[in-house]
């Protein structure tokens, strides 16, 4: 087991390296360098940056030096000092802007996975054991809706219905009095009373497809001889279903949890923009629109890194649950 974990962790290093290169390229994409836009912006505001400060910034980011030196300065700043560069739109270090938003994105994504599974597994088992029931048809219908409707459109329609029918403005993560308040138990409660909406919208996509696949897998499994044998020996129907067939039918989902995470973060970005949430999506969009590249690049870097770490954790959990995986080479 330790060997398996070690191999997986080592494998992560080249992946993270490539991610950092992609993020660095994204930072470098717009014409001009960071410093000249910063100076231009300061000049617009009537400010001047004195030569010494300018020179120290040049030195810090390695501007004017070969590209690999710049990359090294950028990446070592992140790894050694947690310095992601500066957001010139916000006039703050990037690191002071991203952590809270990344945390909220991860929180919503994890909550979505939990909700998805809490709904999908029982319902999937039910529709497999009760084929052609009302719920079976209802689930097929919902899964087609989920298949064809992008989650940001669902969010949009939902906002409109809430406003048109109930006169409630459901956008925003907190009620107005909590937006700029520091974190407290009351603020957390306020967030939880609103957060179910994106969680539900995001889980709709995934829930439907998991139910369909679980149903198909489980139907195959339930027709196998070992189930018949167990039934002949008098094992109760509940135990018969849950003990082995469900576990086998669920296996493919555990192994794709990393992709699910990537899809979730993608979807969350869009839904959060529509709902105007204080997560990473809207800030990433804004930073891209204003070409605030250190902020945008840091988001890309951290969102991708989080997905890779999430995949690692799920792989380790999977190996712990299923000995076949950690033993295979």
Tell me which residues touch other proteins (CB under 8 A): 15, 18-19, 22, 26, 29-30, 129-132, 144, 147-150, 152-153, 156-157, 159-160, 163-164, 169, 171, 219, 222-223, 237, 258-259, 262-263, 265-267, 269-270, 273-274, 281, 284-285, 288-289, 291, 296-297, 299-300, 303-304, 307-308, 311
Q: Measured from the CB of residue 71, what is the shortest distance to other proteins in angstroms?
A: 17
Task: Decide whether 118 or 233 has the Cβ nearer to other proteins.
Answer: 233
Q: Measured from the CB of residue 179, what is the shortest distance to other proteins in angstroms?
A: 17
Which of 272, 106, 279 is closest to 201 using CA atoms? 272
Q: Measured from the CB of residue 132, what is the shortest distance to other proteins in angstroms?
A: 7
18 within 8 A of 71, measured Cβ to Cβ: no
304 within 8 A of 19, measured Cβ to Cβ: yes
Task: Decide whether 85 or 267 has the Cβ nearer to other proteins.
Answer: 267
Q: Measured from the CB of residue 169, what is the shortest distance to other proteins in angstroms?
A: 7
Q: Measured from the CB of residue 228, what is the shortest distance to other proteins in angstroms?
A: 9
Q: Which helix (H) or strand (E) holds 84?
A: none
Task: Decide whether 42 or 156 has the Cβ nearer to other proteins.
Answer: 156
Nearby residues of 71 by Cβ (< 8 Å), 6 or more positions away: 21, 24
Task: Decide whether 118 or 163 has the Cβ nearer to other proteins.
Answer: 163
By the 10 Å C-beta count (0-12 exposed, 13-18 middle, 19+ buried), 170 is classed as middle
Task: Decide whether 157 or 186 has the Cβ nearer to other proteins.
Answer: 157
In angstroms and rounded to an integer, the radius of gyration of the C-alpha atoms of the chain is 25
By the 10 Å C-beta count (0-12 exposed, 13-18 middle, 19+ buried), 218 is classed as buried
Q: Measured from the CB of residue 302, what is the shortest distance to other proteins in angstroms?
A: 10
What is the distance in angstroms between the CA of the first residue and the CA of the last residue of the chain?
A: 12
Residue with tokens 């135990």: 239
Name the DSSP letter for residue 183: P
Q: Measured from the CB of residue 270, what is the shortest distance to other proteins in angstroms?
A: 6
Task: Decide whether 103 or 150 has the Cβ nearer to other proteins.
Answer: 150
Residue with tokens 């925003």: 172
Q: How many CA atoms lie within 13 A of 271 on its CB side?
A: 30
Task: Decide whether 212 or 326 has the Cβ nearer to other proteins.
Answer: 212
């Amino acid at each position: 087991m330790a060997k398996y974990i070690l191999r997986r962790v080592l494998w992560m290093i080249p992946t993270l390296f490539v991610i950092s290169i992609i993020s660095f390229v994204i930072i470098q994409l717009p014409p001009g360098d960071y410093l000249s836009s910063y100076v231009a912006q300061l000049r617009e505001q009537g400010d001047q940056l004195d030569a010494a400060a300018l020179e120290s910034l040049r030195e810090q980011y390695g501007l004017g030096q070969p590209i690999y030196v710049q990359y090294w300065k950028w990446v070592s700043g992140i790894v050694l000092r947690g310095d992601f560069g500066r957001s010139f739109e916000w006039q703050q270090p990037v690191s002071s802007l991203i952590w809270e938003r990344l945390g909220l994105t991860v929180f919503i994504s994890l909550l979505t996975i939990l909700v998805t599974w809490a709904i999908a597994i029982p319902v999937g088992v039910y529709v497999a054991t009760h084929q052609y029931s009302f719920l079976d048809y209802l689930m097929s219908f919902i899964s087609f809706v989920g298949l064809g409707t992008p989650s940001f459109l669902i969010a949009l329609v939902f906002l409109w219905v809430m406003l048109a029918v109930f006169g409630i403005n459901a956008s925003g993560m907190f009620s107005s009095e909590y937006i700029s308040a520091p974190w407290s138990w009351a603020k957390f409660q306020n967030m939880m009373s609103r957060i179910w909406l994106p969680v539900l919208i995001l889980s709709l996509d995934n829930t439907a497809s998991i139910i369909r696949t679980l149903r198909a897998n489980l139907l195959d499994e339930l027709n196998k001889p070992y189930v018949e044998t167990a039934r002949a020996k008098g094992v109760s129907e509940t135990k018969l279903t849950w003990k082995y067939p469900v576990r086998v039918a669920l296996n493919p989902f555990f192994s794709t949890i990393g992709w699910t995470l990537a899809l979730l973060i993608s979807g969350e970005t869009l839904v959060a923009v529509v709902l105007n949430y204080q997560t990473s999506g809207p800030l990433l969009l804004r930073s891209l629109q204003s070409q605030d590249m250190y902020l945008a690049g840091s988001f890309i870097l951290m969102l991708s890194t989080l997905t890779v770490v999430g995949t690692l954790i799920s792989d380790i959990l999977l190996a712990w649950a299923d000995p076949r995986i950690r033993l295979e080479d």
